Amino acid sequence: AQTQVRLDSFFKTM
Amino acid sequence: MFEARLASTLTLKRIVDALREILNQSTLDCSDTGIQMQAMDNSHVSLVSLCLRKEYFEKYKCNRNISLGLDLKSLTKVLKCANGDDAVTIKAADKADKVELSFESAGKERTADYELRLLNLDQEHLAIPETEYNCVVHMPATEFARICRDMATFSESVVIACSKEGIKFSASGEMGAANIKLSETTKGEVSIQVDEPVALSFAGRYLSTFTRATPLAEKVKIGLAPDVPLLVEYPIEDYGYIRYYLAPKVDD
């Protein structure tokens, strides 16, 4: 099975 | 005071069409260099980033940075009132609670003005890091749309594997499996630059959503690197772009 990664871990809030 | 005029409403319609399936509401950040917008979808899996430089517009004036919070459904309704070949002027006063859209027919004999209420959106800005993509592929935008559509028939997940031999899209599900491979063409419709081969898995329904931008550009650029979001970029003439980012799926 696969898990969908979220973008929050790549793009940080400014 | 903000004022921007485009010779044709059609491109604006196309831009909004490319955004509205991912976002319901969004803030346009207008400055003296142009318009920018970026937002994630509700599930924080994809991000869309729009950039339109001021040179894109027939007329562009922005004395002071201004943020316009827009409901894209409402904006679509207003744009439906206009013909594609109407010129459109977008205007907003400083600290305004509304934006004005004026449409002028090609022969200038008909003008129509609409006001849209602005929203006060609490939107976070994300820093998108500069990424060196190991694989960069350019292909006709219609070809990419076709592949995404065909993959969706087979599975929710699409594996994109890129090597010097080409770019391969694969999907397998209960019905069976699909594999589409594109090699570099001598005429340059498909170009493939590879430093290191990459293979990643993505949710096909997001890829299909991105292809809403197909009418905006002849070519689409795809950037892949290990364990980072996929980049799908549609240029808007020479004056801007819509970039979509999609987080990969990983094995448990």
Alpha-carbon gap, residue B94 to B92, rounded angstroms: 7
Partner-chain contact A3 B125, CB within 8 Å: no
Query: Tell me, what's the pLDDT at B13?
Result: 97
Residues present in chain A in total: 14
Alpha-carbon gap, residue B37 to B42, rounded angstroms: 16
> Mean pLDDT of successive 10-residue segments in chain B (252 residues)?
96 96 93 95 94 97 95 97 97 94 96 96 82 97 98 96 97 96 93 97 97 98 96 96 96 87
Residue pLDDT, tens place only, B13-62? 999 999 999 999 999 999 999 999 999 999 999 999 999 999 999 999 99
Find the CB nearest A8 among B44, B201, B203: B44
Alpha-carbon gap, residue B112 to B92, rounded angstroms: 16
Partner-chain contact B47 A7, CB within 8 Å: yes
Shortest Cα distance, chain A CAs vs residue B247, angstroms = 6
**DSSP string for B36-74:** EEEEE-TTSSEEEEEEEEGGGSSEEEESS-EEEEEEHHH
Say if residues B45 and A7 touch (Cβ distance below 8 Å). yes
Query: Tell me, what's the pLDDT at B202?
Result: 97
Partner-chain contact B157 A2, CB within 8 Å: yes
Partner-chain contact B252 A14, CB within 8 Å: no
Residue pLDDT, tens place only, A1-14? 899 999 988 887 76
Shortest Cα distance, chain A CAs vs residue B203, angstroms = 8
Query: Tell me, what's the pLDDT at B78?
Result: 97
Shortest Cα distance, chain B CAs vs residue A9, angstroms = 9
ipTM: 0.93
Partner-chain contact A6 B44, CB within 8 Å: yes
Q: What's the start-to-end Cα distance of chain B, in Å?
A: 52
